[in-house]
Amino acid sequence: MKALVIDDSRVMRRIVGGILTGVGFDVVEAGDGKEALARLEENDDVQLCCIDWNMPVMTGFEFVVEARKRDEWRDITLMMVTTEGEQNQIVRALAAGAHEYVIKPFTPDVIVDKLQFLGLVEAKETL
Amino acid sequence: MSIAPEAFDFVATLVRQRSAIQLEKGKEYLVESRLAPLARSAGAPNVDAYVRTLRANTGLHDAVVEALTTNETSWFRDISPFNMLRQHVIPELRNQGKRHLKVWSAACSSGQEPYSIAMTVKDHHADLGLSVTATDLSEEVLSKARLGAYSQLEVNRGLPAPVLVKHFVRKGATFEINPQLRDQITFRKHNLLDQPPVGGPFDIVFIRNVLIYFDVATKREVLSKVRRSLAPGGYLFLGAAETTIGIDDSWERVHEGGASVYRPREGK
């Protein structure tokens, strides 16, 4: 399984990437939406993108809109991971084609929970 | 009842040292509600007295840390029981002719479980009526549950984003549950060793991650009270690590898609 982590903060890429590696993903990174589109062109086996909203060059929201125009990428799961927590922003991102939305700050289990719902990590009952 | 500050500090320090989890001021209700079952099973009159025994008996520390860390309540985090509810239990109750479901969510803590039940019915069986009786030992967690308002950290956990935006409205720093869902739930203070709460007989009882803290005799007693609170054809949900097997053979287990639910055996 391969995941693309899109964030302009190298620290955030490392944190999110570390969580994903821990549940079995190979991780590639991008620092903005435009670079992320290029990474997707190079890696046709990406199944999941974790996407920050506010980034230079191309925002995460613009990336979602662009990625959803491409038929060959329609099976990729798009998950926003952002400090933007206004309800209308969550609604907008979901309407544009994002599947999930994580508001920063978060704990690692939040990401893992979401991946379980999305069927990307095996769900198991916990205590 | 309210935990003494020195007892809270002792438990907070213990949990921080053993798990790195911070229990800040304001989490007294959590310590109280999580430790109350342990205190009861140890024969202590209240949580403060139980914490005093902890100072001398380090052998009890593991159970305390576990109680405060492994059972964090959160929405659909254990997704399989809710899938079981939606795909198997509710359709079966429909086949029995039920048009209004009565549900008991026992040890409901700050309300995530009863609200998750209400969201499941609303999203997948909207034509059914629903009344949920949600109970807990702690009046403090019930006050929080009644508000139906949760922080961003609380809604991040185990609540899918499409469900969040559908059933909650953001008000300032908190997300508030749709009042229509809230109105389907009655919150009551209740001790599991007392007679079942009013609102029954229930078609479905959720009593998850509570029995693990009781000894076998108490488990039997609680299960017997739950059985009497169920309507004919009703179902019982337990936690993933809990079972009636070997404790009370008047239940049969129904296993579907990785989750289990229990029904009283015929003639028992």
Total CB pairs under 8 A between chain A and B: 59
**Single pTM value for the model:** 0.77
Place A112 in a pLDDT band, splitting at 50, 70 and 90.
confident
Q: Mark whether B78 is an active-site residue.
A: no
Distance of CA B152 to the CA centre of its chain: 21
Active-site entry in B48, B78, B136, B203: B136
**CA–CA gap between residue B87 and residue B224 (Å, rounded):** 27
In order of start, what are the domains of chain B with their CATH numbers? Answer: 5-69 (1.10.155.10), 79-148+177-264 (3.40.50.150)
Residue B1 has pLDDT above 60, yes or no: no
pLDDT tens, B183-216? Answer: 999 999 998 888 999 999 999 999 998 887 677 8
pLDDT at B69: 65
Q: Return the residue matching tokens 């435009």.
A: A34
Least confident window among A32-36, B129-133, B142-146: B142-146
pLDDT tens, B216-229? Answer: 888 899 999 999 99
In CATH terms, A2-117 corresponds, of 3.20.20.110, 3.90.1570.10, 3.40.50.2300, 3.30.43.10, to 3.40.50.2300
Provide mean pLDDT across the span B90-118: 95
A23 CB within 8 Å of a chain B CB: no
pLDDT tens, A64-110? Answer: 999 999 999 999 999 999 999 888 999 999 999 999 999 988 888 88
Provide mean pLDDT across the span A1-11: 96
Tell me which chain A residues have a C-beta less than 8 angstroms from the C-beta of B71. Answer: 127
Residue A124 has pLDDT above 60, yes or no: no
Q: ipTM for the complex?
A: 0.82
Half-sphere exposure of A88 (CA within 13 A, CB side): 0
- DSSP secondary-structure letter at A26? E
Residue B158 has pLDDT above 80, yes or no: no
Are residues A123 and B162, on separate chains, in Cβ contact within 8 Å? Answer: no
Give domain limits for chain A.
Answer: 2-117
Are residues A125 and B170, on separate chains, in Cβ contact within 8 Å? Answer: no
**CA–CA gap between residue B44 and residue B35 (Å, rounded):** 11
